[in-house]
Amino acid sequence: MKNYVIKGNICYSKTSKELCMTENGYIVCEDGRCAGVYERLPEKYQSLPCYNYEDKIIVPGLVDLHIHAPQYSFRGRGMDLELIDWLNTHTFAEEAKYADLEYAKKAYGIFAEDLKNSATTRACIFATIHTPATLLLMEELEETGLKAYVGKVNMDRNSPEYLCESSAEKSEKDTEEWLIESRKFKNIKPVLTPRFTPSCTDELFERLSKLQKRYGLPVQSHLSENLGETLWVKELCLDIGFYGESYDRYGMFGDGCPTIMAHCVHSGEDEIEMMRRQKVFIAHCPESNANLSSGAAPVKLYLEKGMKVGLGSDIAAGSALSIFKAMVMAVQCSKLRWRLYDQTVLPLTVEEVFYLATKGGGEFFGKVGSFEEGYEFDALVLDDSRIRHPQELSVRERLERLIYLSGECHIAAKFVNGRIIFREN
Cα distance between the two ends of the chain: 17
Stretch that binds a copy of itself, among 59-67, 139-147, 211-219, 382-390 (CB under 8 A): 382-390
One residue of 31, 39, 373, 397 binding a copy of itself per CB under 8 A = 397
The distance of closest approach from Cβ of residue 117 to a copy of itself in the complex, given in angstroms and rounded to an integer, is 12
Among 389, 422, 423, 424, binds a copy of itself (CB under 8 A): 389
332 counts as binding a copy of itself under rule CB under 8 A: yes
Rounded distance between C-alpha atoms, residue 138 and residue 150, angstroms: 7
Helix H or strand E segment including 33? strand 33-38
Does residue 287 belong to the site contacting a copy of itself (CB under 8 A)?
Answer: yes
Indicate whether 298 belongs to the interface with a copy of itself (CB under 8 A): no
253 burial (CB, 10 Å; 0-12 / 13-18 / 19+) is buried
The answer to whether 57 touches 402, Cβ cutoff 8 Å, is yes
* Contact (CB, 8 A) for 27 and 379: yes
List binders of a copy of itself among 131-170 (CB under 8 A). Answer: none
Q: Measured between alpha carbons, how far is residue 38 from residues 133, 158, 250, 345, 381 in Å?
A: 45, 55, 47, 37, 17
Where does this chain touch a copy of itself (CB under 8 A) — which range of 37-45, 208-216, 235-243, 288-296?
288-296
Site string for a copy of itself, 168-197 (x = CB under 8 A): ------------------------------
Q: How far apart are CA 203 and CA 317, in angstroms?
A: 29
- Piece of the chain touching a copy of itself by CB under 8 A; list 166-174, 214-222, 366-374, 402-410: 402-410
Of 294, 313, 358, 417, which lies in the binding site for a copy of itself, with binding defined by CB under 8 A? 294
CB of 239 or CB of 392, closer to a copy of itself: 392
H or E stretch covering 106:
helix 101-117
Could you say whether residue 107 binds a copy of itself (CB under 8 A)?
yes
Instruction: Give the Cα separation of 224 and 271 in Å (integer).
Output: 9
Residue 338, interface with a copy of itself (CB under 8 A)?
yes
Bridge-based pairing state of the strands 281-284 and 193-194: unpaired
Q: How many Å apart are CA 146 and CA 169, to the nearest integer?
A: 33
Q: With beta carbons less than 8 A apart as the criterion, state whether 247 and 275 touch.
A: no
Half-sphere exposure of 299 toward its Cβ, with a 13 Å CA cutoff?
36
Shortest Å distance, C-beta 128 to a copy of itself: 14
Site for a copy of itself in 86-105 (CB under 8 A): 97, 103
Q: How far apart are CA 7 and CA 57, in angstroms?
A: 9
From 23, 45, 293, 420, residue interacting with a copy of itself (rule: CB under 8 A): 293
Residue 401 or 419 with smaller CB distance to a copy of itself = 401
**Residue closer to a copy of itself (CB basis): 1 or 387:** 387
Q: Which amino acid is at 129?
A: I
Nearer to a copy of itself, 111 or 242 (CB): 111
Number of residues lying near a copy of itself (CB under 8 A): 51
The type of residue at 72 is Y
Binds a copy of itself by CB under 8 A, chosen from 305, 339, 422, 424: 339
Site string for a copy of itself, 349-368 (x = CB under 8 A): xx------------------
Stretch that binds a copy of itself, among 22-30, 149-157, 172-180, 388-396 (CB under 8 A): 388-396
Q: How near is the Cβ of 295 to a copy of itself at its closest, in Å?
A: 5
Which residue's CB is nearer to a copy of itself, number 100 or number 202?
100
Between 41 and 405, name the residue whose CB sits nearer to a copy of itself.
Answer: 405
Q: Is the CB of 175 or the CB of 406 nearer to a copy of itself?
A: 406
Shortest spacing between CB 104 and a copy of itself, in angstroms: 9
Which of 326-329's residues contact partners 24+ apart within 8 Å by CB, and which partners? 326/64, 326/285, 326/286, 326/287, 326/357, 327/353, 327/354, 327/356, 327/357, 327/403, 328/353, 328/403, 328/404, 328/406, 329/286, 329/287, 329/290
Binders in 51-80 for a copy of itself, by CB under 8 A:
73-80
φ, ψ of residue 20 to 5 degrees: the values are -95, 135
Residues that bind a copy of itself (CB under 8 A): 73-80, 97, 103, 106-107, 110, 114, 227, 287, 290-296, 319-320, 328, 331-333, 335-341, 347, 349-350, 388-391, 397, 400-405, 407
